[in-house]
Amino acid sequence: MKYLCLVYLEPDALETLPAERRRALFDEAAEHLARLGERDRLLVAESLQPAADALRLCRRGGRLRLEALVGTAPVQAFCLLEARDLNEAVLLASGLPQGRLGCIEVRPVGALSASPQPPERTAP
């Protein structure tokens, strides 16, 4: 099953780190993602541009409205994992070092054509 991991960081979380610590964090993240890829657990991983460069679109009553993302949760990156269940996905995502500076949301991905199903949970 696929799981989307959203990495939330405050906008200045990385900028306030000394350059050496920031580089070490990026290196650790790259190594963890490479290991996940070698095990066929990582499907894709990307960082996102700042929310100031994005727009939210809403279609209501036949009209399209565009909104700035001011005041929304700061998503810094995402990755898509393949895992047997939510517990394994959480374990895989827990190795991402950005979780030490912010938080990581792990969410099951469902097919658009399927009705929503609750995620499988196994005992830890």
Domains of the chain: 2-108 (3.30.70.1060)
Express each pLDDT in 36-50 by its tens digit.
999 999 999 999 988
Report whether 57 contacts 64 (CB < 8 A): yes
* Structure tokens, 110: 């469902």
Q: Report pTM.
A: 0.80
- The residue type of 51 is A
Least confident of 8-12, 76-80, 119-123: 119-123
Query: Taking residues 90-118, what's their average pLDDT?
Result: 88
Judge whether residue 122 has pLDDT over 90: no
Who has greater pLDDT, 92 or 124? Answer: 92
